[in-house]
Amino acid sequence: MLTDTTYEGNVKIVRKIGNSTAFYNPLGEFSRDVFVKIFTAYALTKGENLIYAEPFSGTGIKGIRLSVEGKGFSTFIFNDLDENSLKIMQKNWEINNVKGKAIFYNLEANDFFQRLVNFGRVDGIDVDPFGSSSPYIFNAIRSVKGGGIISFTFTDTQVLGGIHSEALEKRYHIKAKKVQFLKELQARIAITNVVLDASTINIAAVPIFAHVDKHYIRSYHIIKPKASLANELVKEIKYITTSDCGFISLEKYAFCPYCGEPTDAIGPIYAGKIFDKDIINKAYEISGGCKRCSELFATALEELDDIPFYYDTKFMASVLKTSTPSRSSLIYDLKKSGFRASGTVFSPTGIKTDSPFGVFKSMFFK
């Protein structure tokens, strides 16, 4: 007897059979929408008969949605250490209008990755564990083919937010604190972790997209087994100088040039580009049925992702003891003054610009 059924995207998912249950998180729906779009956009650049794998399948919802709603992937390798989940994902594969073939494993995640290496590696992997992807990054990357795609979920948002700074240093070897560009900082800490783990075996895990919600951080990478490219990514790992007055810079300052107070050095974090605009543009084009996805990708297409931080207009307004201007008018004013400016996927009140901090502040009093 099947019970506890839910609908998401174009699929039907059973979460319980008899006494067996599998983990399903309704809060992850949007991140799964985005996942299907990005993996399909990637596949559109790569062709057909791609192989997809996931080490933490749960109900199997991600792979099943990719099979039903996506394109290009034709073999789906599911895995979960939990036998109840295995039973349920197999049932979910049967009851949906799936395309392609499925293979099921019941292994510990790192054993699963080794199995994929023996299998000849795969074109796409999604790593979506409870908590941090950190313990799995190295082995997951080894099991992806050159040119393949890999995505990670990090749900330890408190650690990545620098709120538990000791845990942050222990897990990610990074010094941080709560800054105005907190959401992007979280994404870039996760990306740094992936880039560094890959670089130890001369692989470049090139970031192609990232987004952050209250409960998770998601990062997407293309795997390129090329030492020189791995070196280039590592060279982009830097410190960001911040001051409580709102000043942010990639230059080193012991004291803030605006308020004179001692600064904080946040990092080391990956400060290079994080968006592949070609793939994001393709994802945008196929996002017709998901308004939130279209909006996210449209913002990413405009975003100045070569600038690794944003100013939060609300925070800046409170520091400057003035009202918060609208983001669009601020962007307009900055561009009119000859500077680059954009919004950011990481915050609806965030602004990126290359204008000097003094000029940026003056825009609040226009």
For residue 4, what are the contacts with CB-CB under 8 A and spacing of at least 6? 14, 15, 16, 21
CB of 253 to Zn ion, least distance (A): 9
Q: Which one, 36 or 256, has the nearer CB to Zn ion?
A: 256
Q: Which one, 215 or 252, has the nearer CB to Zn ion?
A: 252
# residues contacting Zn ion (CB under 5 A): 6
Question: HEC profile for 212-252?
Answer: ECCCCEEEEEEEECCHHHHHHHHHCEEEEEECCCCCEECCC
Report if residue 247 touches Zn ion, rule: CB under 5 A: yes
CB of 263 to Zn ion, least distance (A): 7
Distance (Å, rounded) from C-alpha 293 to C-alpha 35? 10
CB of 311 to Zn ion, least distance (A): 13
Q: Which one, 225 or 257, has the nearer CB to Zn ion?
A: 257
Instruction: Say which amino acid occupies 253.
Output: Y
Q: Which one, 103 or 259, has the nearer CB to Zn ion?
A: 259
CB of 310 to Zn ion, least distance (A): 17
Q: How many residues belong to the chain?
A: 366
Distance (Å, rounded) from C-alpha 124 to C-alpha 149? 5
- Hey, what are 272's tokens? 């290079």
CB of 330 to Zn ion, least distance (A): 20
Q: Which one, 249 or 281, has the nearer CB to Zn ion?
A: 249
Q: Is residue 187 within 8 Å of residue 346, measured between CB atoms?
A: yes
Q: With 0-12 CB in 10 A as exposed, 13-18 as middle and 19+ as buried, what is 208?
A: buried
Q: Which one, 216 or 357, has the nearer CB to Zn ion?
A: 357
How many CB atoms within 10 Å of residue 74? 15
For residue 132, what are the contacts with CB-CB under 8 A and spacing of at least 6? 154, 155, 156, 159, 171
CB of 220 to Zn ion, least distance (A): 34
Q: Is residue 311 within 8 Å of residue 245, measured between CB atoms?
A: no
- Annotate each residue in 292-321 with x if it binds Zn ion (CB under 5 A) or - if it does not, as one string: ------------------------------
Distance (Å, rounded) from C-alpha 300 to C-alpha 345? 6
- Annotate each residue in 251-280 with x if it binds Zn ion (CB under 5 A) or - if it does not, as one string: -----x-xx---------------------
Q: Which one, 127 or 240, has the nearer CB to Zn ion?
A: 240
Report if residue 119 touches Zn ion, rule: CB under 5 A: no
Residues 206-245 binding Zn ion (CB under 5 A) are 243, 245
Q: Which one, 119 or 258, has the nearer CB to Zn ion?
A: 258
CB of 359 to Zn ion, least distance (A): 15
Distance (Å, rounded) from C-alpha 121 to C-alpha 113? 9
Instruction: Say which amino acid occupies 19.
Output: N
Q: Which stretch binds Zn ion (CB under 5 A): 76-84, 114-122, 248-256, 348-356?
A: 248-256
Tally of helices (H runs) and strands (E runs) in the chain: 14, 16
Q: Which one, 34 or 256, has the nearer CB to Zn ion?
A: 256
CB of 257 to Zn ion, least distance (A): 8
Q: Is residue 248 within 8 Å of residue 309, measured between CB atoms?
A: yes
Torsion-angle region of 246 (φ positive above 0: left; ψ -120 to 50: alpha; else: beta): left
CB of 261 to Zn ion, least distance (A): 5
Residues contributing to the site for Zn ion (CB under 5 A): 243, 245, 247, 256, 258-259
